[in-house]
Structure 1
């Protein structure tokens, strides 16, 4: 039948698309359908991220995240080269602004060496020579970090999988999922379809899709808004590299940084504040269903209690533009209040366990015929191509 498939993938972000790419490589001629609830692919996390091709400096040597990031960075660059997608290997500077950060920077250098990532130590004079507007006691230069438009990557993957026979249904929000002994039935706005196996890569809606499928999950998605500003065109040459802080291991998020974008613009941020809507990108957007989901989940309140101080500081930056500027000026004193022109935001799907633990690794929920990717940790966009292969390996075991 026309609506019968071997495999169904829910989610048209980069992880779902990369999984479809891997599946069409592994299972030649498979009947595959990919469902995306929006009219466009990469409409949420993928299309609102920083566009960075990360090198993987931060990750524990030998860890899965370190390996996937390193492989993903190379695979992303190779895919872009093959498809004629513009990317720029502009390099990243991890800047230390005090002695504590200098000490942490030494630990990052050890991790980079263990992860076989090339880097250079810079003192304050060397830093000033290559980035005259950046202030710091020292820095690590990671030359292999790049930037790209991940929407373009997603569209190119979509073209490739369609050429291999995959059907992509847009504006196809999933309403019900039912598993039985022979397959999985899925209802969407377009009607019903059936597949032998299902993979859900639903990002911000991943917990809801898992619950709709009747699975017993121990987590919820809590949205965090990453608010940032786009500098005016006259300030687009203020830095030549990506300027990142030395991360504080006690904090769950990285902190504000300066990011070159592939279109030539520069963004400053993001902070990380609680989102009142899973898909609300304008300040003040709220969704009562999303709010209710959070406040009725005990893990939400435990997370808030455990991160109250850092959360309040992030909120202060959201409410007070001058305080936000102070965070930016820590690395780039030349920035002025009038430079913070165009506000924008992305939403991070943070999986939170019942005990309040933030999930920073992969979280899968499985049944006989379904594999739900309930958390794909940062940097999922960079690592998407090998993540897709890993998901397919897991499905076909």
Structure 2
């Protein structure tokens, strides 16, 4: 194993792998490594989501312009990449439903945002309940936003393909390798792996997902932030429900200021259907089971009680919402009933198999507020990506290109080839579209 690197990326999720893809294309002579503690890339959140490639109708075009552009162009980039590599990409749309007047107002706002973010008339349409009944007779709602520029894929497959391309450009992927210590000495980073080996890096990029805050804290960065983790659980629908709707169905979020997602009716790229997710508070970014949560319970609670998260934990509305999510984890019927509000035909008794659970990590600031956006922190020898939930997997390619371009512009790294071709794209053209 090589020991000296120009750039080391911690985290082999879809973001870290995409960063390596662009960095290696732009810097053929630089030695770049991605460190991933699991045996494959996209092992956690990147490979445990619903695989949706989302249209940017949820982003305020004034406040979240970059996110919206990343999602908009991410869609076309993933579609093009899927054709290039013969990977799954199914344009199947999504329907956002409102079950009351308040929800209709939200859908009207989403329609306006979507069009301002580049969606055309053919891409998005607001319909009333009578019109919805004609195309989707099983859906019960007052109004619905039909988003046709929305697709399904498998981000685990995408990430593994991006890794392969990145490796061909010279990136080393150190899998089954955990970063156990990081220290700065003599103008470079000394990174201890698995408590025994050391490698060295001139520049460090932290894209560690659910552990990104812990990595940042280990090098005295982002100390005013802490993270909380939520396990999103799914139930698989029996095959008799696979044709219940033509598109996935989402409901308008009831509490948008909290990271609690109203359960959806999901049609995956393979045609199977699921209900989920809820958002059960857990104590580890890998808290899929009781053993891991018990192990991390005390250290995580101490960390939260000594940070801004304390204010969120003792907030009455948060406590009530958290208890509702725990109840949905303990009771399948509770979770299914949430979806029955807009798909009344579903029978909880017929749903017997659990789907894949994923964990979403959210950042809380020192005032006890959930941070809604990604946090980018830089210093002279490192760059940290925290709270990367939006623009998520959909926008991972263009957002990674944006980060690489930003690091180049401020002089933290130097791209050797400004006009480099990265797969089917010119790097400069990606950046131009994000302006």
TM-score relative to the length of structure 2: 0.87
- Which residue number in structure 1 is paired with residue 295 of structure 2? 288
Kindly report which structure 2 residues correspond to 1:34-113, keeping only aligned pairs within 5 A, or say none.
34-62=34-62, 63=64, 64-113=66-115
CA contact (8 A) 1:251 1:310 kept: no
- Which residue number in structure 1 is paired with residue 393 of structure 2? 381
Moved over 6 A (4+): none
Matched, 1:3 2:14: no
Aligned with 1:340 (options 351, 354, 358): 351
Matched, 1:207 2:213: yes
Question: Alpha carbons of 1:291 and 1:221: their partners in 2 closer, same or farther (altered >3 Å)?
Answer: farther
What value does the CA root-mean-square deviation take over the aligned residues?
Answer: 1.9
Between stretches 213-222 and 99-108, larger displacement belongs to 213-222
CA contact (8 A) 2:283 2:300 kept: no
CA contact (8 A) 2:182 2:218 kept: yes
CA contact (8 A) 2:59 2:68 kept: yes
Q: 1:287 Cα shift?
A: 4.1
User: How far apart are the structure 2 equivalents of 1:168 and 1:296?
Assistant: 31
TM-score relative to the length of structure 1: 0.95
Matched, 1:276 2:274: no
- Which residue number in structure 1 is paired with residue 253 of structure 2? 247
Q: 1:149 Cα shift?
A: 0.4
Structure 2 gap segments, 5+ residues each = 411-435
Question: Alpha carbons of 1:90 and 1:211: their partners in 2 closer, same or farther (altered >3 Å)?
Answer: same
**SS of the residue aligned with 2:314?**
helix
CA contact (8 A) 1:13 1:45 kept: yes
Number of residue-to-residue matches in the alignment = 397
User: How far apart are the structure 2 equivalents of 1:277 and 1:361?
Assistant: 21
- Which residue number in structure 2 is paired with residue 361 of structure 1? 373
CA contact (8 A) 1:94 1:244 kept: yes
- Which residue number in structure 2 is paired with residue 318 of structure 1? 329
User: How far apart are the structure 1 equivalents of 2:2 and 2:345?
Assistant: 60
User: How far apart are the structure 2 equivalents of 1:364 and 1:294?
Assistant: 26
Q: Deviations over 1:146-182 (max 9, x none)?
A: 0110000011001100101111110110011122353
User: How far apart are the structure 2 equivalents of 1:249 and 1:206?
Assistant: 26
Q: 1:91 Cα shift?
A: 0.3
- Which residue number in structure 2 is paired with residue 18 of structure 1? 18
CA contact (8 A) 1:91 1:242 kept: yes
Q: 1:295 Cα shift?
A: 3.7
